[in-house]
Chains A and B, each alone.
Chain A
Amino acid sequence: MRSTSGLGWHLIRGWALLVYVFMFLPVAVVVLLSFNDSQFGSFPMTGLSFRWFVELWENEAILRAFETSIVLCLLTSIISTTLGVLASLALVRYRVPGANAISTLLIAPILVPEVVLAVALLLFLNFLGIHKSFALLLFGHVIFTLPFVILVVQARLVSIRREIEEAAMSLGANPVQTFFQITLPLMLPAVLAGALFAFTISFDDITGTLFWKPGGVETIPTQIFAMLRNSISPEINALGTVMIVMTVGLPLLGVAVARRLAQRSGG
């Protein structure tokens, strides 16, 4: 009897299907309701309309939050990826004494509950004179995303063969030329994957952000959170739809670009 037949397998498949429905249904309802013509962000559907997306576009507070989010995530992504790539190179490419301990240290920010990280950082930087500000947000997002970048980049770096670099060197390239002409292009998919990961995690963060953000400054998630205080408005559903498209679309785009790059570099 093959492993994918029989009653047991059918039950498992049915169960898995239900799990997928459980994961997707609420999200699908958000998207559906964002096109609802009704005044209220709820059922019944009274007709299809794009009006909530138009209102979203005209909502100053949301546009400002969007701008803050994008600037914050871009900066976080750049800094985190730079730090993460350098550290990953050291861990993968060199024999570092105590490499395991160092790895654990570097991923410690995700082993500590985010609330505790948020409190510690807020209190310490405040003590140093850095009060709730964009800078504090940036520090927080960098330290929180760094472990993810290191995990992702390290996993991909392992697969780049050292012999290719050695060949370049033996053919007369100096270390700097080798890095920029051989290593960096080979690493690019890993670097992009890390940057994308950092961006997405930073874009989605709310737990730490609520501790670090100064009054009056909102990112998209904290803006949604603030809007939820009243009631669920159709605008929230529309904003949710935009975020779903962004957070799902970006990684998919990233995967596609990485594939493209990998193919071109003769993978």
Chain B
Amino acid sequence: MSVEAREARQPWILLSPALTAVGLLLFVPLIFIVVYSFWLRTASGADQVGFFLDNWQEALTDRFYRDILISTLRIAAITTLVCALMGYPAAYFIARSRGNKAILLLMLMLPFWISYIIRTMSWINILGVSGALNTFLMWTGLVSEPIQMLYNEPTVILGLVHFLLPFMILNVYVSLDGIDMTLEEAATSLGANRWEAFLQVTLPLSLPGLAAGGLLCFVLGAGTYITPLVLGGPSDAMFANLVFEAIITQLNWPLGSALSLMLLAVLGLLVAIYNRYLGMAQLMKGLG
């Protein structure tokens, strides 16, 4: 074999274990659940192989699933919006701060490293019946009985914001940090005031970061089932909870496959639109 041919083969040898893993553990399984979604769970508990449209009919026409899909998208959208409103100024502060940016960023990354389940349950300590807030309110005498503030949609959103905010801040920060500060100064020297300069120069230039952060918050938020289980009430189930129910509790794997694919299609569409207009590179910058 010639040297060139060997040289050309080397990267493929290095890539093959990872590509095999992704192929066998992600792509083939995804194709498999497409097939599985057309099987049927019978009363005996066995899955009947075949081509049945029942699961898809149930998943696509049952109002119950549609309503939960819509409320899942609504919760994800509100979460993303709150993350943007809270995160943008914070990212701007870090990017423009004259202090130690590395420390400011590290401080932000610390909660990011702290366990998701711990951070989620920590809100019970704050908002629970005997949590910090109720204890404080009782102490001040504002209320005489503890108020149940947990287990509703706002607390689910609160938990999600707490979980996803670092993704937003990091992405916006990366994008703000790459903007030449003299551009804003040029705008002000040409007569724009600070606010106008921000609106017309900095904000548009940072939109890719905002979009990347937004996409991450939305997709991660819409795919969660742990937060609603910990911080939500019985009626706050999100779409991923339905998948979990179907697969783990009811053991209806064909229906669970169809529901998973529905979630994948909706969120995949968003990722595809994002990729079409902004490309994956921005997203990778924020993750890397």
A binds B: yes
Check B14 for interface membership: any CB of A closer than 8 A. Answer: yes
Kindly specify which of A22-30, A47-55, A70-78, A161-169 makes contact with the partner chain.
Answer: A22-30
Contact, CB under 8 Å: A251 / B113: yes
- Shortest Cβ distance from A194 into chain B, in angstroms? 11
Q: Within the assembled complex, what's the spacing in Å between the Cα atoms of A124 and B244?
A: 16
**A residues 202-237 in Cβ contact with B at 8 Å:** 203-204, 206-207, 210-211, 221, 224-225, 228, 232, 236-237
Q: Within the assembled complex, what's the spacing in Å between the Cα atoms of A104 and B119?
A: 31
Contacts of B108 in A (CB 8 A): 20, 23
- Shortest Cβ distance from B175 into chain A, in angstroms? 16
Q: Within the assembled complex, what's the spacing in Å between the Cα atoms of A168 and B32?
A: 49
**B residues 79-127 in Cβ contact with A at 8 Å:** 86-87, 89-90, 92-94, 96-98, 107-108, 110-111, 113-119, 121-126
Chain A contact residues (Cβ within 8 angstroms of B): what range?
Answer: 35 or more
**Number of CB contacts from chain A to chain B under 8 A:** 255
Contact, CB under 8 Å: A26 / B117: no
Check B45 for interface membership: any CB of A closer than 8 A. Answer: no
Contact, CB under 8 Å: B119 / A120: no
Contacts of A211 in B (CB 8 A): 244, 247-248
Q: Within the assembled complex, what's the spacing in Å between the Cα atoms of A41 and B98?
A: 41
Q: Within the assembled complex, what's the spacing in Å between the Cα atoms of A148 and B96?
A: 28
- Shortest Cβ distance from B239 into chain A, in angstroms? 9
Given A23-B165, A119-B256, A143-B22, decide whether A29 and B93 contact each other with a Cβ distance below 8 A: no
Contact, CB under 8 Å: B260 / A44: no
Contact, CB under 8 Å: B125 / A119: no
Check B267 for interface membership: any CB of A closer than 8 A. Answer: yes
Contact, CB under 8 Å: A142 / B15: no
Check A176 for interface membership: any CB of B closer than 8 A. Answer: no
Check A129 for interface membership: any CB of B closer than 8 A. Answer: no
Check B233 for interface membership: any CB of A closer than 8 A. Answer: no
Check A123 for interface membership: any CB of B closer than 8 A. Answer: yes
Chain B contact residues (Cβ within 8 angstroms of A): what range?
Answer: 35 or more
User: Chain B residue with minimal CB distance to A154?
Assistant: B288
Kindly specify which of B50-58, B62-70, B206-214, B220-228 makes contact with the partner chain.
Answer: B220-228
Contacts of A261 in B (CB 8 A): none
Contact, CB under 8 Å: B264 / A113: yes
- The 8 A CB mask of A27-63 against B (1 = contact, 0 = none) is 1011001000000111110000000000000000000
Residue in A82, A148, A244 whose Cβ sees the most chain B Cβ within 10 Å: A244
Contact, CB under 8 Å: B165 / A122: no
Residue in A41, A113, A225, A228 whose Cβ sees the most chain B Cβ within 10 Å: A113
Check B154 for interface membership: any CB of A closer than 8 A. Answer: no
Q: Which of B26, B125, B195 contacts A232 (CB 8 A)?
A: B125
- Shortest Cβ distance from A231 into chain B, in angstroms? 9
Q: Within the assembled complex, what's the spacing in Å between the Cα atoms of A118 and B197?
A: 47
- Shortest Cβ distance from A53 into chain B, in angstroms? 15
**A residues 131-148 in Cβ contact with B at 8 Å:** 139-140, 142-143, 146, 148
Contact, CB under 8 Å: A30 / B113: no
Contacts of A26 in B (CB 8 A): 119, 122-123, 125-126, 162
Residue in A6, A108, A140, A207 whose Cβ sees the most chain B Cβ within 10 Å: A207
Q: Within the assembled complex, what's the spacing in Å between the Cα atoms of A112 and B264?
A: 7
**B residues 4-19 in Cβ contact with A at 8 Å:** 10-12, 14-15, 17-19
Contacts of A12 in B (CB 8 A): 89, 92-93
Contacts of B114 in A (CB 8 A): 27, 243-244, 247-248
Contact, CB under 8 Å: B116 / A206: yes
**B residues 231-252 in Cβ contact with A at 8 Å:** 240, 243-244, 247-248
Contacts of A225 in B (CB 8 A): 117, 226, 229-230
Check B271 for interface membership: any CB of A closer than 8 A. Answer: yes
Contact, CB under 8 Å: B32 / A127: yes
Given A8-B195, A115-B240, A224-B118, decide whether A43 and B131 contact each other with a Cβ distance below 8 A: yes
Contact, CB under 8 Å: B22 / A29: no
Q: Within the assembled complex, what's the spacing in Å between the Cα atoms of A215 and B17?
A: 31
Q: Which of B21, B111, B188, B230 contacts A146 (CB 8 A)?
A: B21
